[in-house]
Structure 1
Amino acid sequence: MYFTVNDKELDALCGLSYLQQITYLRGIRPYMDRKTFMVGIKRGISYQSLSEILYVEPHQGIKDSGSPSRQQIRRAVKGLERAGLIAIQSLDKHLILKCLLADISYCAQNKPNTKPTQEPDTKSNANYSDNSIDSSNNFSKGATENNTKADTPHESDLSCVFLRKAFEKFWQQYPQRRDQLKAWDAFKQVNPDEALFIKILQSLNAQIEHHHKYQAAGLWVPHWKNPANWLAQECWNDELITEVMEIENAKHTTSPKKQSAVELLWDSCKEGADHFDFNFEDNIPSEYSNNIIQFKNDKTA
């Protein structure tokens, strides 16, 4: 692994504690992406991994051996941020840093020339002086262009910042927040632009409202998917299909109330019972009715 530390970084490190200097030089700077100046995106880092990198083996005469604690590493990273060396752009559990003073073009310009060219003796002094003037002009132009490009942010750096901010909005809005690192990887695979990200948020809002509406109506709704699966399966396109299927399932699942055996028997007999009169008060037989046989018990003496 090869990397160069420029004068700006050395000046900023001057006066900091030993732990802060070694954290920057051993744990952060070697793993910086030279295109984006970011640390922790392509190769993940954490306070625990930084602590393991700074492990000191026990030797005779060395008192401070082992690894610094996570709290010490956290304070060292905060100190580097206050010194202007890095900017902390982390997610919840994903440590992401940006090296603010790492200027690759500055290091390339000051790299010594290992293959100096020699001018042949046959050239005239006039030609030599002209070439020297032209080369100095070209160098000044090249230096100006490189310095201008170094000051402007890289396009990939801007895209990474947009992705992180967009993922934070999506993560805060998703109802079931689980496996953030997997969700972040899936979000990077989707790599949405601004238009697609707006569509994702609008679809997610509509699905959340749809979910609450069906729950309030007492209808069955499926559980929320893992956010990584939701992104990988492009579920922001499934809103209308899911709604139609749930409405059809709700229609098929609703059935009339079942009647008991007594209610079924009463319904079958109710029509016939209307033709009969069960009031016996008006049909009491008289005492001398002909159709009643009276029996007398004659007792013999």
Structure 2
Amino acid sequence: MATGKETCEQPSKTLIERRFDEFWAAYPKKVGKKAAWAAWNKIKPDAELHNKILTAIGKAKLTDQWQRENGRFIPNPTTWLNQGRWDDEYEDGPMNGINSKHFDGHNQEPATSPLGSEGKRDALAGFKRAEDYYFYSRSIDKEK
């Protein structure tokens, strides 16, 4: 019963295509989709690997590398897949990617000295200020 206008209905997507779509939606850098698809087809992830990949993307998104400079250092998705980066080890926790020497473990504020500004003065005791060098050099010039 063709009416002259036959519709080309696309067959529903395969499981591997649906899994790739989930990967693509989760991955923050949207470049080289065709190459990423080819890499995905080489891997042919089963349900377990697919879940591992999506979990790894979620952890990687929290890292300093992926957040720094608006994601400038996020690997291309093809590279990430070809290198099996879902097996990378990511640190867990809210302090991930924060340099611990500048932060204590309890908050996001820089750790401060318990002595406050007085402690800073004590720490600099014995050092000359820049102004002291200026006056010192002028006094030497006068002696000459």
Q: Please give the range of the TM-score, normalised by the shorter of the 2 chains.
A: 0.5 to 0.7
Instruction: Give the ranges of 4+ consecutive aligned residues of structure 1 lying more than 3 Å apart after TM superposition.
Output: 211-215, 249-253
What is the TM-score normalised by the length of structure 2? 0.56
After TM superposition, list the pairs within 5 Å mapping 1:117-156 onto structure 2: none
What is the TM-score normalised by the length of structure 1? 0.29
| Distance change >3 Å, CA 213–CA 238, structure 1 → 2 | closer
Distance 2:21 2:44 in 1: 14
What is the aligned partner in structure 1 of residue 74 from structure 2?
A: 224
Counterpart amino acid of residue 4 in structure 2: L
- Percent of counterpart pairs with the same letter? 22
| Distance change >3 Å, CA 191–CA 200, structure 1 → 2 | same
Structure whose alpha-carbon radius of gyration is higher: 1
Counterpart amino acid of residue 164 in structure 1: E
1:237 has 2:87 as partner: yes
Counterpart amino acid of residue 89 in structure 2: E
1:80 has 2:3 as partner: no
CA contact (8 A) 1:163 1:191 kept: yes
Distance 2:66 2:30 in 1: 21
Distance 1:183 1:213 in 2: 18
1:161 has 2:14 as partner: yes
Counterpart amino acid of residue 84 in structure 2: E
Distance 1:233 1:193 in 2: 17
After TM superposition, list the pairs within 5 Å mapping 1:12-161 onto structure 2: 14-16=2-4, 79-81=6-8, 86-89=9-12, 161=14
What is the aligned partner in structure 2 of residue 173 from structure 1?
A: 26
After TM superposition, list the pairs within 5 Å mapping 1:174-193 onto structure 2: 174-193=27-46
Distance 2:33 2:81 in 1: 12
CA contact (8 A) 1:179 1:228 kept: yes
What is the deviation of 1:251? Answer: 6.2
| Distance change >3 Å, CA 161–CA 214, structure 1 → 2 | closer
Counterpart amino acid of residue 83 in structure 2: Q
Distance 1:182 1:240 in 2: 26
| Distance change >3 Å, CA 175–CA 269, structure 1 → 2 | closer
Distance 2:33 2:66 in 1: 27
What is the deviation of 1:197? Answer: 0.4
What is the aligned partner in structure 1 of residue 126 from structure 2?
A: 268
Find the residue that maps to 1:195 and give its secondary structure.
Answer: helix
Give unmatched runs, 5+ long, in structure 1.
1-11, 18-78, 90-159, 254-262, 271-301
Give unmatched runs, 5+ long, in structure 2.
103-120, 129-144
State the superposition RMSD in angstroms: 4.0
CA contact (8 A) 2:66 2:74 kept: no
After superposition, give the CA deviation of every residue in 1:251-274 in whole Å (9 maximum; x if it has no partner): 699xxxxxxxxx8xx73279xxxx
What is the aligned partner in structure 1 of residue 56 from structure 2?
A: 203
Distance 2:88 2:127 in 1: 53
Find the residue that maps to 2:10 and give its secondary structure.
Answer: strand
